[in-house]
Amino acid sequence: MSYTPRIGFIGLGIMGAPMAGHLLDADLPLFVHTRGKVPEPFVSSAMVCASATEVAQRADIVFLMVPDTPDVEEVLFGERGVAAGLSAGKTVVDCSSIDPIATKAFARKIEALGCAYVDAPVSGGEVGAKAASLTIMCGGEEAAFARVRPLLEKMGKNVTLVGGVGDGQVCKVANQIIVALNIAAVGEALVFASKAGADPAKVRQALMGGFASSRILEVHGERMIKRTFAPGFRISLHQKDLNLALQGARALGVALPQTASAAQLMNACAALGHGQEDHSALVRALEAMAGHPVAPDPKEA
């Protein structure tokens, strides 16, 4: 970069805090705002703002990382929102995973203020956020993408401009379809193996050397066996993403039968009280139907 931009970051949760932390580590001037308590590193090393409006007033590029479409709308256009603090020439980058159609509407409003908009949802979960190894799927004008890419590369390893505004969100929905279906497949395989009397840990180890090997089998298969369901990426958030997929499918006249099945498994997990657990806990719905766990929970051992 030929200049040092002032960076704003709104949303310092499970994903946002480590992502913003990499910008802090790069010694960039950072202005932050979040709904909850501001994590300590930002209190001492960043400039904490009282509102999203103040962040937008003081920063050249404003990042958002919040849970859902209504949250983005509120942060952008609500009372003391980002839009109220923008001036021409600034850039808004939304790293949240939200509705692609709403994203295009939000972008039009921001562009009407003389500013650029990039949707840049991420994949990789808390582990990827902490390791700066996220996959980041972007939609926007090439000039705006070029402006923010060096910053995104401090947070991720695979940063791609997919197309115009909204296409990043479309790509993220596609990602979430693939991830959900893979989690369901791994869960079914391990429930089957365990109920048949095989050691699920050894089955997983064997499968890791074959064509069934995948990142989901490696990471989430281990979570299912070890019962480590602390998020990660919460089931409630994956429910939201699959709902976006199914809403989009209806609008496009596309059938997504396996996505619908995975969404029902997520719904069952939430109904069983596991909505705040990692999405690998989808296996709990399969276990409930089988009347058999892949492995006992530690408290029940």
> For residue 289, what are its two tokens?
């139907």
Please state whether the peptide bond connecting residue 21 to the residue before it is cis, i.e. omega within 30 degrees of 0: no
Query: Which one of the listed residues 37, 90, 154, 172 is annotated catalytic?
Result: 172
Active site residue 240: no
Which long-range contacts does 108-111 make (Cβ < 8 Å, 24+ apart)? 109/76, 109/77, 109/83, 110/76, 110/83, 110/86
Q: How many residues does the chain have?
A: 301
Give the residue numbers marked as catalytic: 172
